[in-house]
Structure 1
Amino acid sequence: MPPEPAWIDLTVAQTRRSALVEPPSRRGLFTRLIAAAVLVVLVVVAVGVFVARQLAEREAVHDAARSAQLLGDVIVEPALSDALLDGDAEARAMLDELVRSRVLGDSVVRVKIWDADGRILYSDEPRLIGETFGLDDEERTVLASNGVEAEVSDLGAPENRYETGQGALLEAYHAVTSPSGRAVLFEAYFRYDQVSVRTGELWGAFSLLAVGSVLALLVLLLPLGRRLVVYLRDVRAHREAVLQHALDASSDERRRIAGRLHDGAIQDLTASALALHGGASRAQRSGDAALAAELDEAARTLRANVGGLRSLLVDVYPPSLTAAGIRPALDDLADAVRGRGVRVRIVDDELPDLTPDEARLVFRVVRECLANTVRHAKAGEAVVTLGPVQPDGSVPVEIADDGHGFDPEGIEQPESGHLGIPLIVEAAAAEGARLRVRSRPGQGTRWQLVLRANASAGARG
C-alpha cells in the first residue's frame, strides 16, 4: 500500500503573500532605512577603499618612475664610467659608495644596473653582480628609447629573490648612458608603504563626502518614508473596507433572496402541491382514475421542485446557520449533496460552540469542499468530521471523500480550475485558521480546516 501523501498547508502561501503587502510600521520603516544606510555605507567604504588604493598605487607608480628618472639623471649617470661597465672593481666601489650615501634610504631599498644582455653590472646586493637574467620586452623598449617605466615588483622572479624580506615593492627603471654613449638600465626599488599612506589620505577625503551624502539622503528619505507608510495604510484600510462592504452586501443579498424564496415561491409551490394532492384524492373517490393519476403526478413534480428549491436555498444562505447553529446547517447541506448522488455522513466529535464568524467559515469551507467532491471527485461517499478540541486548543474540521483524488500542487491559484479554493483559503487566513489538503490521484481527498487555538475561548467555555 503506497504511503499516505503529506499535508499541504494552503494558508502558508496566503499568509506570506499578505505579509508582502503589509505596510511596515514607522519603527519598522526607520529600522529598514537605518539598515539600508549602514549597508550603503559599508558598500561605499569597500568601494572607496578599493578605488582609493587603485588611485594611490597609480600615483605611487608614477612617482616611482619620476623619482627613478631623477636619480638616474642627476646622481647615477654623472658617476657612471666605462670602467664600471667593463667590470672594474674600483669603479664599482666608487659607485657603490655614492649609491649608499645618496640613493638608498627610507624609500629606496635596492639599486641594480643592467646591460643590454640582461647582465647585472652593479647592485648594492653584491651576490647579484655578474648574474644574467635577461630583459623583457618592456625593459628593452625603455633601454632603446631612453624612457622610464615603473610597476609593482614581482617578488617571485629569480632576480628579486633577495628582496622578498622587504614586503611589497615598486620597481622603476630608466635608461642612462656612460661617457662613451653606452646605454644601460638603471633600476631602483621603492617601498610600497607610500601606497598605504596615500590610500589613507584619499579615503579620508572621499569618506567625508560619501558618508555625509548617505546620511543627508537618509534624513531626506525619513519624512517621505513616513508619508508613504501612512498612504499605504490608508490604501490598505480602504481596500479592506471595500472588500468587507462587498462581502456584507453579498451576504445581505443572499439573505434577501433566501427569504423571498422561502416565504414566496416555496410556500406557494407547497400549497399548490397540497391542493393538487387533494384534487387527486377527490378525483379518485369520484371514480375518475385518469384525472387522479394526472393530478397526483403533478403534485409529485411540484414536491420534487420544492425539494430542489430547498436545496438551492441551503446553498444560497442557510437559515439554520444563524437560527440553530452549525450542525443543523451542515445537516441541511448534507441533504442537498445527497440529492446529487453522494452519500454524506457527519461525525460530530464533541464540536464546541463556535463564534458566528467561525460558524460561517466552517460552513463555507465544508460547502466548497463538498461542491468539489460532487463536481470533480466522482466520489461515492464523503465524511465530515467535526472536532474534537485538540490539546493545544485548536479545533479541526475534516472533509474526506473516496473520489479520484488529484495533485494538490498549485490548487490555491485561480487558474487551477478550483475557483472557490482561493477564496476559502483567503477567508481561513483572515480568521487565523489553517486550511490543509492531502490528496493523490486514485487515493481520494482529505481537507482539514484547523480553527486556531483559543480563538473563541469565551464562546467555547
Structure 2
Amino acid sequence: MEGQVILLVIVGTIAVMLMAFSVVFFVLLYRRKMLQSQLEMQEIKTKHQEEMLNATLRSQEAERNRLGTELHDSVGAMLSSIKLNVEVAKRKEGLISLDPVLGHLDETISQVRSISHQMMPIILKKYGLKHAIEDLFEKLLSENLKVSIKQWDDPSLTEQDSLMLFRIVQELLNNSIKHSSASEIDFSVSKSSDTIKIEYRDNGIGFPQDVLENSDGMGLLNIKNRSQVIQAKCFFSNDKEGGAKVNLVLPTSIG
C-alpha cells in the first residue's frame, strides 16, 4: 500500500512538472510570436513611412519641375516680350528714360531664369550629375569662396536618385553660405565594389554642438530625408582642423 502511495506521489509530481513545463513553454512561445508580430508590424510601419517619404519628396520634385517650367516658358517668355516692346518704343520715340526700365527687366528676366533653373535643373537632365554640380559650384566661385570637386568616381545613379543627390548638394551649399563663413568647399565621390562614399566639407565655423547632437534643423532634416530616399547613411561632424563635414555612404547596388 505504501509503495502505491509513493508511486502515485511520483506520478503526480511528474504530471505537475510536465504541466508547469507546458505552461512555461506555451508562455514563451506566445511571447516569441507576439514579439515577432510586433517586429513585423514595425517593419511594415517603417517601410510604409519610407514609401510615404519617398512619394512626398518625388511629388515635391514633380511640382518644382512644373513650376520651373511655368516660370521659364510662361513668365520668362512674357517678360522677354515686354522687354522687346519697350525696346521698340524706345527706338521709335527716342525715350532715353526707358533705359532704367530695360535694366530692371533684364535683371528680372535673369532672376526668373535662375530660379527656374534651380527648381528644374535642366543641365542635370541634359548632361548628368557631375556637370550639374560643377555648374552649381561655378556660380558660387568668387574671390572669397573657392569651391572644387576633389574626386569624381561616377556613382551611376538613376535620374531620380541623381536629382535627390543634387538637392542634397544644393542644401549643403546653402548651409555653408548662410551659416559657416567658409572660404573653401571641397566635394568628392569615391566608389568601391560595394559602396559609394560622398564627402562634403567646408573650412567654416562648423556645426553647433546642439545641431550635431539632434540633427533636427530644417536644412539637415532635408538632407537626412533625401539621403534616406537614396538608401544612404548620413553622418554630420566637425573636422579636427575646423569646418563642417558631411559624409554619405550608399550601396553600389543603387547605382
| TM category, shorter | 0.7 to 0.9
* Structure-1 separation of matches of 2:233 and 2:45: 27
Q: CA deviation at 1:212?
A: 2.5
Q: Name the residue aligned to 2:124.
A: 321
**Structure 1 pair 254/230, CA: closer, same or farther in 2 (3 Å)?**
same
Q: Name the residue aligned to 1:213.
A: 23
> What letter corresponds to residue 257 of structure 1 in structure 2?
L
**Structure 1 pair 266/441, CA: closer, same or farther in 2 (3 Å)?**
farther
Deviation string 1:233-284 (CA, Å, 9 cap, x unpaired) is 544444344333322321221111111111111222233334444554x27x
Q: SS of the counterpart of 1:382? A: strand
* Structure-2 separation of matches of 1:432 and 1:371: 23
Q: Name the residue aligned to 1:435.
A: 234
Q: Name the residue aligned to 2:63.
A: 253
Contact 2:54 2:229 in 1 (8 A): no
Contact 1:406 1:440 in 2 (8 A): no
Which one of 351, 372, 377 corresponds to residue 153 of structure 2? 351
Percent of aligned positions that are identical: 22
**Looking at CA atoms only, which structure, 1 or 2, has the larger radius of gyration?**
1
* Structure-2 separation of matches of 1:395 and 1:279: 57
Q: Give the aligned CA root-mean-square deviation in angstroms.
A: 3.8
Deviation string 1:166-219 (CA, Å, 9 cap, x unpaired) is xxxxxxxxxxxxxxxxxxxxxxxxxxxxxxxxxxxxx97875454222113245
The alignment status of 1:405 with 2:215, answered yes or no, reads no
**Structure 1 pair 422/327, CA: closer, same or farther in 2 (3 Å)?**
same
* Higher helix content, 1 or 2: 2
Deviation string 1:292-326 (CA, Å, 9 cap, x unpaired) is 2x322222222222222233223323232223211
Q: CA deviation at 1:374?
A: 1.6
The alignment status of 1:272 with 2:82, answered yes or no, reads yes
> What letter corresponds to residue 318 of structure 1 in structure 2?
P
Q: Name the residue aligned to 1:387.
A: 189
Alignment of 1:197-346 (within 5 A): 207-221=17-31, 228=38, 231-277=41-87, 279-280=89-90, 282=91, 288=94, 291-292=95-96, 294-334=97-137, 337=140, 343=145, 345-346=147-148
**Structure 1 pair 272/296, CA: closer, same or farther in 2 (3 Å)?**
same
Q: CA deviation at 1:376?
A: 0.7
Q: SS of the counterpart of 1:387? A: strand
* Structure-1 separation of matches of 2:194 and 2:50: 29
* Structure-2 separation of matches of 1:311 and 1:226: 52
Which one of 247, 250, 254 corresponds to residue 448 of structure 1? 247
* Structure-2 separation of matches of 1:273 and 1:338: 30
**Structure 2, unpaired ranges of 5+:** 1-12
Question: Which stretch shifts more, 270-279 or 304-313?
Answer: 270-279
* Structure-1 separation of matches of 2:54 and 2:196: 26
* Structure-2 separation of matches of 1:248 and 1:411: 27
Contact 1:311 1:335 in 2 (8 A): no
Contact 1:406 1:445 in 2 (8 A): yes
Q: CA deviation at 1:454?
A: 5.3
**Structure 1, unpaired ranges of 5+:** 1-202, 457-461
Q: CA deviation at 1:338?
A: 5.6
Q: CA deviation at 1:404?
A: 2.1
Q: SS of the counterpart of 1:406? A: coil
> What letter corresponds to residue 273 of structure 1 in structure 2?
K
* Structure-1 separation of matches of 2:191 and 2:115: 32
**Structure 1 pair 221/366, CA: closer, same or farther in 2 (3 Å)?**
same
Contact 2:212 2:236 in 1 (8 A): no
* Structure-2 separation of matches of 1:300 and 1:441: 47
* Structure-2 separation of matches of 1:379 and 1:230: 46
* Structure-1 separation of matches of 2:207 and 2:31: 50
Work out the number of aligned pairs and report it.
245
> What letter corresponds to residue 397 of structure 1 in structure 2?
I
**Structure 1 pair 437/297, CA: closer, same or farther in 2 (3 Å)?**
same
Deviation string 1:108-138 (CA, Å, 9 cap, x unpaired) is xxxxxxxxxxxxxxxxxxxxxxxxxxxxxxx
**Structure 1 pair 437/251, CA: closer, same or farther in 2 (3 Å)?**
same
> What letter corresponds to residue 268 of structure 1 in structure 2?
M
> What letter corresponds to residue 325 of structure 1 in structure 2?
G
Structure 1 residue ranges, 4+ long, deviating more than 6 angstroms after superposition: 203-206
Alignment of 1:82-231 (within 5 A): 207-221=17-31, 228=38, 231=41
> What letter corresponds to residue 111 of structure 2 in structure 1?
G
Q: CA deviation at 1:367?
A: 0.8
* Structure-1 separation of matches of 2:205 and 2:54: 36
Contact 1:314 1:332 in 2 (8 A): no
Q: CA deviation at 1:449?
A: 3.0
Q: CA deviation at 1:373?
A: 0.9
